[in-house]
């Protein structure tokens, strides 16, 4: 499944970048995260509770940031496993400052879902994934606003 989109944040690009590199902001960016800790430089291990339709469950996995090009772009990859199935994905994040203090976050990701969770159907999974991405981006924006 492919997810692409943009989200405008009322903050300078450097501030958005700094937030994306902060483990506390990453916790908010990834919906359902219960724990996330850095286990190596730019590599995190965590637990998340996520549900699609009536299939809910706990996933444990890793997230890795690579190809860092501050404050412009990076690649994020991750995978998680749980009773409902498994999720694996990779995405490119690019930040553009379109006006002073206004940053657009561009994302382009590929996700693979397997197990019971894949049985709910592609349309439902796609809709849920978009909803989770939007929730995460709004949470990131609120985190940046709180940090001032």
- Supply φ then ψ for residue 53, to 5 degrees: 55, -130
> Burial of 113 by CB count in 10 Å (0-12 exposed, 13-18 middle, 19+ buried)?
buried
- Please give the tally of structural domains in the chain: 1
Question: Which pLDDT score, from 0 to 100, does residue 63 have?
Answer: 93
Q: The CATH number of the domain where 124 resides is what? A: 3.30.530.20
Q: How many CA atoms lie within 13 A of 144 on its CB side?
A: 24
Compute the distance between CA of residue 20 and CA of residue 72 in angstroms, rounded to an integer: 11
Q: What is the pLDDT of residue 32?
A: 80
| pTM of the predicted model as reported, rounded to 2 decimal places | 0.89
Q: Which domain holds residue 85?
A: 2-147
CB-CB contact of 71 with 17 (8 Å): yes
The DSSP element (H or E) to which 24 belongs, if any, is helix 23-29
| Phi, psi (deg, nearest 5) at residue 31 | -60, 145
The reported pLDDT for the residue numbered 125 is 78
Mean pLDDT by 10 residues, the chain (148 residues): 95 96 85 90 92 79 96 96 90 96 97 80 76 89 87
The answer for residues whose C-beta is within 8 angstroms of residue 41's C-beta and 6 or more apart is: none
């Amino acid at each position: 499944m492919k997810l692409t989109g943009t989200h405008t944040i009322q903050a300078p690009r450097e501030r958005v970048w700094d937030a994306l590199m902060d483990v506390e902001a990453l916790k908010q960016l990834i919906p359902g995260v219960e724990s996330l800790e850095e286990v190596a430089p730019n590599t995190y291990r965590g637990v998340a509770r996520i549900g699609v339709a009536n299939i809910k469950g706990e996933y444990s996995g890793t997230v890795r940031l690579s190809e860092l090009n501050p404050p412009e772009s990076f690649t994020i990859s991750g995978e998680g496993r749980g009773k409902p199935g498994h999720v694996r994905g990779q995405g490119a994040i690019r930040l553009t400052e379109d006006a002073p203090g206004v940053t657009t976050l561009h994302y382009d990701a590929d996700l693979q879902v397997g197990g019971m969770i894949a049985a709910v159907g592609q349309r439902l999974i796609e809709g849920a994934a978009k909803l989770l991405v939007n929730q995460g981006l709004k949470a990131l924006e609120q985190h940046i606003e709180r940090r001032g």
